[in-house]
Amino acid sequence: MRFGVCSFITDEGLRPDRLAAALEQRGFDSLYVSEHTHYPVAAPPPPDTDLPPRDYLRSLDPFVALTAAAMATERLTLGTGIALVVQRDPIILAKEVASLDVLSGGRFQLGIGAGWLREEMVNHDTDPKTRMALMRERVLAMKQIWTHERADFHGQFVSFGPIYSWPKPVQRPHVPILVGGNGPTVFDRVLEYGDGWAPNLVGPPESLVADIAQLRRRGVDVGRDALPVTLIGADRRGFDSSEKTIAPLNKRELAVLAEGGVDECVFFRDAGLDADAALAYLDRLVDLTEEFRDPPLREP
C-alpha cells in the first residue's frame, strides 16, 4: 500500500516545499493539498466548532503550493485533495493542471469534488442545486482541452470552442482524475469520468472495504476492472466523533484497508502544527506504516 499526507497549506505553517521535501526524504509516496478560496462570514461554522477552521481561512492556492512542492522533489506524487471544480473556470483550471503536470514531470493527480459550503459556492456564482451536473461538464470539457489540438465543448453549463490551449499534460491521455465523495451517486461519477475514487472515511474501515467491493463489481460490469482507491483522510476523526484532534488509524485498521483493496492511504496533517511538531508527526507516520509497504521503508 502507498502512503501520503493531505493538508491545507497556509501562510502560517510549514512551507509546501519544505513539507514535500520532508515527505520524500522519509519515503512517503504523495502530498495532497486541500482548498477553500474563502470562508463567508455569514456561513455557519462546521459541526462541533464555534469558529471556522483557521486553515480554511488562511490556505494558499493549491496549485501554487504544489508547484513549490514539485520544485523541491523528484519522485513525490502531487495532488489536490480536493480541488473545488465547481468554483473554478474550466479553461483556466485545465491550463493550471497541465502546467503543473509539465513542471512536475508528470507527477500530478487531480482530486476533484463539488464541495459542501454552499455560501462559498454562491460567491462563485455556482448554484448548489446543480453543482454535480456543473462539475461533470467542467471535467468533460477539460478532457477535451487536454486531448485535442482544437478543443470544443457544448453543454448546459459549459460551452466554448473551438479553442487552442497548451501545454498538454505529460501524462497520457491526461492527468488521472480522482473523484472525491461518499454520497449515494459517487460511483456513477467515478465510472463515467473518473480514473479512481478518493473517498473520505465516514465509518469504520470495514464499511469502506464493503464500498470498494461494490465499486469494483460495478466496474467489472462496464469493463473497468482496475479502479484505484485513494483514501483521503486515514484518520479516526472521520468516523469517531469522540476524536477532537487528528488521530491516524491504528495498525489493525490499516491492515483491514490493505487487505480490502485500498491502494493508497493519505493521512490528514494539522496545518496549525509548528515545524518541529509537523516533522515529528511525519516520523510517527513512518513508524505506523512501515510494515504495510512493499518494499519496506527500512531494511530489516
In the chain, the domains with their CATH numbers are 2-292 (3.20.20.30)
Cβ neighbours for 286, distance < 8 A, ≥ 6 positions apart: 26, 27, 28, 297
Check residues 116 and 47 and name the one with the higher pLDDT.
116
What percent of the chain is helix, strand and coil (3-state, nearest 5)? 40, 15, 40
- pLDDT at residue 248, as a whole number: 93
For residues 201, 207, 208, 210, the Cα torsion angle rounded to the nearest 10 degrees is: -170
Q: CA–CA separation, 28 vs 162, rounded Å?
A: 41
| pLDDT above 60 for 182 | yes
Q: CA–CA separation, 166 vs 149, rounded Å?
A: 8
Taking the CB of residue 257, how many other CB atoms lie within 10 A of it? Answer: 24
What percentage of the chain has pLDDT greater than the value 90?
A: 85
- pLDDT at residue 247, as a whole number: 87
- pLDDT at residue 294, as a whole number: 74
| pLDDT above 60 for 207 | yes
Three-state SS for 5?
strand
- pLDDT at residue 44, as a whole number: 86
Q: CA–CA separation, 180 vs 202, rounded Å?
A: 13
- C-alpha cell belonging to residue 10: 497556509
Q: Tell me whether the omega of the peptide bond preceding residue 296 falls within 30 degrees of 0, making it cis.
A: no
| pLDDT above 50 for 83 | yes
Task: Report pLDDT digits (tens) over 244-286.
Answer: 667 899 999 999 999 999 999 999 988 878 899 999 999 999 9
Average pLDDT of 217-240? 89
Task: Report pLDDT digits (tens) over 95-148.
Answer: 999 999 999 999 999 999 999 999 999 999 999 999 999 999 999 999 999 999
Q: CA–CA separation, 231 vs 257, rounded Å?
A: 9
| pLDDT above 50 for 164 | yes
pLDDT tier for residue 300 given thresholds of 50, 70 and 90? very low
Q: CA–CA separation, 169 vs 109, rounded Å?
A: 11
- Single out the residue of 90, 85, 47, 289 nearest to residue 198, CA to CA: 85
What percentage of the chain has pLDDT greater than the value 70?
A: 95
- C-alpha cell belonging to residue 37: 478560496
Q: Using the 8-state DSSP alphabet, how is residue 41 labeled?
A: T
- pLDDT at residue 273, as a whole number: 84
Q: CA–CA separation, 75 vs 106, rounded Å?
A: 10
| Strand pairing class (230-232; 264-268) | parallel
- C-alpha cell belonging to residue 3: 502512503
